[in-house]
Amino acid sequence: MIKTRKRGTLIVISAPSGAGKGTVISRLLEKENNLWLSVSATSRAPRTNDIEGVTYYFYSKEEFEDKIKEGYFLEYAEYAGNYYGTPKKFIEEKLNEGIDVILEIEIQGAMQIKKLIPEALFIFIMPPTLQELKRRLVGRNTDSKEKIIERFKIAYKEINEVSKYNYVVVNDEVDNAVSKIEAIIKAEKCRVDRIEEVLLSNEEEYIHELLVDMND
């Protein structure tokens, strides 16, 4: 009776560094097969666990700036002294194929997307407490003390920006956070503004035909 838009949903997920969004998103991707995670580009140095083309595309600052000039990015931002950006290619293609696309990006980039694509879905993942956030940042053991302090200060500011998003998910327990995000995505598909056409005729004749057996 109704025809809804088949186009995929653009899902923007932000979280302060250390909120555990990486684990939440990996679990989500394992469970849902109609999801595609966009691989970002960055000028930051690779960490031990990073894999070129899988976690990020790594560029020098100069290479990144050349790409900005070329118009290669859908959005980009500077975060903790490095560039991060979403390559434009593939995103439109995936959405047209009906695949949902996840952008795992920080707030400045998310707000650029909000201007460009206001109908995108904006989800903020929150750490359960600031103590837990600190524990996760320190426990990661990959950054220097100065970097950890810098990231903690940025995270503290970011938490105040949560109201710019549509949904907030507290990551107290990974499975719990994942099922909340799945529910949000499902709900999004039911929004009335996805309806393209209501395949119903209001004509008297049609109603009469439908109700004919009731007139006996």
44 is a contact residue toward ligand 5GP (CB under 6 A): yes
DSSP annotation of 36 reads E
Phi, psi of 24 (to 5 degrees): -60, -45
- Taking contact as CB under 6 A, which single stretch among the options 24-32, 105-113, 117-125, 205-213 is the one that binds ligand 5GP? 105-113
- Taking contact as CB under 6 A, which single stretch among the options 26-34, 74-82, 164-172, 194-202 is the one that binds ligand 5GP? 74-82
Stretch 178-207 residues interacting with ligand 5GP (CB under 6 A)? none
Spatial contact of 118 and 193, defined as CB atoms under 8 Å apart: no
H helix runs in the chain, sequence order = 21-31, 61-70, 91-96, 107-116, 130-139, 145-159, 174-189, 204-210
40 is a contact residue toward ligand 5GP (CB under 6 A): yes
Which CB, 75 or 100, lies closer to ligand 5GP? 75
Q: How far apart are CA 38 and CA 75, in angstroms?
A: 12
79 is a contact residue toward ligand 5GP (CB under 6 A): yes
Looking at 36, 84, 122, 167, which residue binds ligand 5GP (CB under 6 A)? 84
Q: How far apart are CA 88 and CA 44, in angstroms?
A: 20
Q: How far apart are CA 16 and CA 103, in angstroms?
A: 14
Kindly state the smallest distance separating residue 50's Cβ from ligand 5GP, in Å.
8
Please report, as ranges, the residues that interact with ligand 5GP according to CB under 6 A.
17, 40, 44, 75, 77, 79, 84-86, 104-106, 108-109
